[in-house]
Structure 1
Amino acid sequence: MEPSSSAERTADPAADEPLAHRRIVFGIVSMALLMASIDQTIVATALNAIRGDLNAELTWSGWTITIYALGQIIVMPLAGRIGDQFGRRRVFLGAAVLFTVASLACSLADNIYLLVVFRAFQAIGGGAFMPTATGIVSEQFGRDRDRAIGMFTSIFPLGGIIGPIIGGVIVTYWSWREIFIVNVPIGILLIVLGLKFIPRGTPAPGARIDATGAALLALTLLFGMYGISSLGSSGASPADPLFIGAEVLAITLGVLFVRHANRHAAPIIGVNLLRGGGFGAMNSINFLFGAAVLGFGALVPLYAESRYGIQPLQAGTLLTARAVGMICLASLAVFALRRTGYRGPMIGGFLLVAGGMTLMSLAPHGLTPYGWLALAAGITGIGMGLSIPASNNAILQLAPDQISAITGLRGMFRQSGGIVAVSVTTTILAHSANGGLAQAHSFLVFAAVLLLIVPLTLLVPDHRGSW
């Protein structure tokens, strides 16, 4: 049968045979993804040093972290779609250049306002890595792309574990500026290797960017996430005019975006990727999963310190326990996906994470507080290792010519869920008499959210075998 579209014609050869340099390309894009992920958390260890050196207020210092998360949320879906339209290699290399230059600019900033601006540009580059790199991996591995994508997207959570450790070492022995300088030689290496080994893709013929749709989507996410993050960063209440105004603007712009997407011939994000053919259920799962898992992970060290008086360095290693559990199972889960399908690992993983969160909220039994929390964190890691590869691959095979766009949306929904969860939880903690106990209750809420996700997995098309 003759292919019905140019997208299918270009996809057919890649669907048959993996390409020769696929492992080198996998290493290149993995390095980029890990670097962008590390930069999400590495700055947290340097906030006090940044405040002292730049004579900055705490709120503005905190924005060096917040603006990076916001920038990534905005850029992920846009970069994915632009990569599908104009070539993933081009967008990936452009992102590498921007990330490297912005990192150098961050290291040279002489005031906090410039640092926040440069961090925003760094976020744009870092946010474009995940969707474009996933598309590049898909092109390289052909019939094995399901396994390659499962392994590749499991790299991203590791950055959140490694970042604080690397940041602590650099700040201790050098200064906060070296946190950004270290990206420069790595970024240059990425660009050189990318130019040599990543092949040129085939952009969609006659592709034009939907500038209006891109602007509406970006502004919707910006105002929505800014309003929510203001709850956590400033301790404002939901009745605060800033929060209400930002959310009203976000809802209005979101309605305009949906109307535009329904009417435009080639929208930046098609409405079918938001709610059609299993996408709506998976987008909801990703948002709730991000809220429960990313929000939970960000708050574990604080919980250990506030409820049990565990020292900060030891509290941080609880995330390492979770990472070990995740790594141990993720690689096995990836190679078992063709036999198990997606629903079973997702449901089993969500239940295990919920169980680990519930254990963490309870008082220790027969173990020291640290041992109890480490056990609970390890169980959540095993659950994440089981569920993340399946949830990363679910529904990708429904639109293989739009893998970058789908990956960008997945990242957007997960990161948005994480920001919502952290902001709401920290607002509640700011108004509670017993922060440790309030956090224990929040973990039970996160566990309940994961249980609510389970019925949604039945709406996601299951798949066994290769794509």
Structure 2
Amino acid sequence: MTPPPDTQTAQSDPSSDKLDAAVLKTAGVVVLGAIMSILDVTVVNVALPTFQHEFDASYAIVAWTMTGYTLALATVIPLTGWAADRFGTKRLYMAALIFFVAGSLLCSTATNIGMLISFRVLQGLGGGMLMPLSMTIMTHAAGPQRMGRVMAVLGVPMLLGPIGGPILGGLLIDNLSWHWIFLINLPIGIVALVSAFLVLKPDNPQPSESFDFLGMLLASPGLALFLFGVSSIPEKQTVLAARVLIPAAVGIVLMVAFVFHAMRTEHPLIDLRLFKNPSLRAASVTMLLFAIAFFGGMLLLPSYLQQVRGESPLHAGLLVAPQGLGAMLTVPIGGRLVDKIGPGRIVMTGLAVITVGMSFFMFLHADTPFWQLCVVLFVVGMGMGWTMMPTMTAAIQTLTHQQVARGSTLMNIVNQTAGSIGTALMSMVLTTLLKNEQYARPAIASWFDPSIKAHIPPNLLSEGFEQAARAFGHTYILAVVLVACTLIPAFFLPRKKSQPVDAADAPVMMGH
């Protein structure tokens, strides 16, 4: 297959084993947008108590600033593949940046919680397209032979988001105001927009596919309703609540209907036929299990540090930073190895390291030394660097040029859905375990209401913190088991260096 002119220009020398200047410039542009999108998922976490105070709203209400953003991401991601084919990746990427920055500015002007939630939805509509578009642009620029290192570059924002978000949010709120967690996107967004205009090569899209309106009416609302139901589990503390079951059930029905529709239509909104590709299929199942376990488990430690140890959001963010440092050490190494020997062995090594490291958290105590937590987090981060982006690489590198946009969209849907499921699952298990501990909840509440300490004997307060730590540790058992189970689909990932895929080879590769 001969790449279109813009791809040839970006690649310079697709047979080269090194990432040339053109690819690195493109990477710099798309990483800026991806960092903004992913940071905004986590940076608002720190601001939720502030929103409660500023807008005089309950936690359940202000949590919609997170849920609304997530649902907007889920709604727009399925459209990305078609829109990239129809309008071109450069124009769509710039439009997504404008939507995201406009939404950020509006968020900073909100005067009540309803306005803030509405503007967060607008922000999510732009943010949802940034990550799959970044993957598509970088894949086209570098070609399959350098996919491992390209995904390592894109792994930077995925690592910085969960680590840097709480730190950045804490700094801005402590030293400026909550408005700045949104205003900070303005200068970054302007730089990203100007850079995209100057650096990204013009597309020459030649759309031959009609828009799948029926698919959109089934897939986007189906995914959003399902995630809405799942996201309501922690608040309702049961999966049997009507607010959980009804939207989740309707969402599942719509998604099942979409599956039947997608397999019968020539150009569906989400190309499920890509699952015939064995590499993408194995990578999707691996990513599904991994994201449920890892993203769900990743929420537990910051909560443990704040609720059991009494640390501030900023200090909690700093204490989990070693995880990001460990990942930054191994991501470039993993990227190079994936290009040389394939992702299979790398991912299995990473998962084994994460399983061993995360097992430590099953034995948390109320006085576990911070230095031990930091060492283990560094080890877990190293495993993450060998797992997440190599799995993404395994999914994308065997696709043809035309399939990349749809493939990256598909993987981002899997990632987004799994992350929401993991968050809800771990939150529900932790909440249930804390309810069963007599003194845990009063002990946690004492950090926020010091008067409680006057009514609880010191020995019972200490017992309460120990019970709470035990609840966190037992919740980690589920995360560890899920990570260990991820080794099964990871066993089927490719264990050889990928070969360039030509469009003519697609029917064989796809298993037709």
Q: TM-score, normalised by structure 1?
A: 0.91
Partner of 2:264: 263
- For residues 360 and 429 of structure 1, the distance between their equivalents in structure 2, rounded to whole angstroms, comes to 14
Query: Aligned pair count?
Result: 461
Secondary structure in 1 matching 2:240: coil
Q: 1:436 pairs with 429, 453, 469, which one?
A: 469
Find the structure with the greater CA-based Rg.
Answer: 2
1:301-321 deviation digits (Å, cap 9, x = unpaired): 222444555565443333201
- For residues 8 and 276 of structure 1, the distance between their equivalents in structure 2, rounded to whole angstroms, comes to 24
Partner of 1:389: 389
The question of whether the paired residues in 2 share the 8 Å contact of 1:328 and 1:385 is answered with yes
Compared CA separation, residues 245 and 275, structure 1 to 2 (3 A): farther
The question of whether the paired residues in 2 share the 8 Å contact of 1:102 and 1:122 is answered with yes
Partner of 1:373: 373
Partner of 1:129: 130
Alignment of structure 1 residues 208-247 onto 2, 5 Å: 208-232=210-234, 234-247=235-248
Partner of 1:461: 494
Compared CA separation, residues 312 and 21, structure 1 to 2 (3 A): closer
Compared CA separation, residues 363 and 52, structure 1 to 2 (3 A): closer
**By how many angstroms is 1:341 displaced?**
1.5
Secondary structure in 2 matching 1:52: helix
Matched, 1:417 2:450: no
The question of whether the paired residues in 2 share the 8 Å contact of 1:151 and 1:389 is answered with no
**By how many angstroms is 1:334 displaced?**
1.0
RMSD of Structure 2 on Structure 1 (CA): 2.5
- For residues 42 and 6 of structure 2, the distance between their equivalents in structure 1, rounded to whole angstroms, comes to 38
Q: 2:192 pairs with 183, 187, 190, which one?
A: 190
1:89-148 deviation digits (Å, cap 9, x = unpaired): 111011001001111111111111111111011111111111111111122224534422
2:207 partner amino acid: P
The question of whether the paired residues in 1 share the 8 Å contact of 2:78 and 2:220 is answered with no
1:277 partner amino acid: P
Partner of 1:155: 157
The question of whether the paired residues in 2 share the 8 Å contact of 1:299 and 1:422 is answered with no
**By how many angstroms is 1:49 displaced?**
2.4
Partner of 2:204: 202
Partner of 1:317: 318
- For residues 404 and 395 of structure 1, the distance between their equivalents in structure 2, rounded to whole angstroms, comes to 12
Secondary structure in 2 matching 1:398: coil
1:423-446 deviation digits (Å, cap 9, x = unpaired): 122223223234432221221221
- For residues 114 and 487 of structure 2, the distance between their equivalents in structure 1, rounded to whole angstroms, comes to 44
Compared CA separation, residues 139 and 243, structure 1 to 2 (3 A): same
**By how many angstroms is 1:459 displaced?**
2.7
**By how many angstroms is 1:267 displaced?**
0.6
- For residues 164 and 311 of structure 1, the distance between their equivalents in structure 2, rounded to whole angstroms, comes to 10
1:345-396 deviation digits (Å, cap 9, x = unpaired): 11111111111111121257xx952122222212211111122232120031
**By how many angstroms is 1:21 displaced?**
3.3
Percent identity, aligned pairs only, is 26
1:374-420 deviation digits (Å, cap 9, x = unpaired): 22212211111122232120031221322232222222212222221
Secondary structure in 2 matching 1:105: helix
Choose 132-141 or 376-385, whichever is displaced more. 132-141
Alignment of structure 1 residues 359-370 onto 2, 5 Å: 359-363=360-364, 368-370=368-370
The question of whether the paired residues in 1 share the 8 Å contact of 2:163 and 2:323 is answered with no
2:191 partner amino acid: L
Compared CA separation, residues 353 and 9, structure 1 to 2 (3 A): same
Secondary structure in 1 matching 2:299: helix
- For residues 308 and 171 of structure 2, the distance between their equivalents in structure 1, rounded to whole angstroms, comes to 27
- For residues 461 and 133 of structure 1, the distance between their equivalents in structure 2, rounded to whole angstroms, comes to 23
Choose 160-169 or 433-442, whichever is displaced more. 433-442
1:188-246 deviation digits (Å, cap 9, x = unpaired): 222222112211123243233212212211111111110010011x1331111121111
The question of whether the paired residues in 1 share the 8 Å contact of 2:166 and 2:313 is answered with no
1:286 partner amino acid: M
1:377 partner amino acid: L
Partner of 2:334: 333
Secondary structure in 1 matching 2:386: helix
Partner of 1:452: 485
Partner of 1:179: 181
Secondary structure in 2 matching 1:155: helix
**By how many angstroms is 1:179 displaced?**
1.4
**By how many angstroms is 1:8 displaced?**
8.3
**By how many angstroms is 1:44 displaced?**
1.7
The question of whether the paired residues in 2 share the 8 Å contact of 1:307 and 1:437 is answered with no
Secondary structure in 2 matching 1:168: helix
1:268-316 deviation digits (Å, cap 9, x = unpaired): 1112124543433322211111111111111112224445555654433
Partner of 1:106: 107
Choose 40-49 or 200-209, whichever is displaced more. 200-209
1:375 partner amino acid: V
Choose 131-140 or 248-257, whichever is displaced more. 131-140
Matched, 1:406 2:407: yes
Runs (5+) with no aligned partner, structure 1: none
1:48-92 deviation digits (Å, cap 9, x = unpaired): 222222233322211111222222233234213421443111110
Q: 2:171 pairs with 169, 177, 185, which one?
A: 169
The question of whether the paired residues in 1 share the 8 Å contact of 2:284 and 2:395 is answered with no
1:94 partner amino acid: A
Partner of 2:451: none
- For residues 205 and 425 of structure 1, the distance between their equivalents in structure 2, rounded to whole angstroms, comes to 43
The question of whether the paired residues in 2 share the 8 Å contact of 1:298 and 1:422 is answered with yes
1:249-283 deviation digits (Å, cap 9, x = unpaired): 01210111011101211111112124543433322
2:51 partner amino acid: I
Secondary structure in 1 matching 2:397: helix
Compared CA separation, residues 306 and 346, structure 1 to 2 (3 A): same
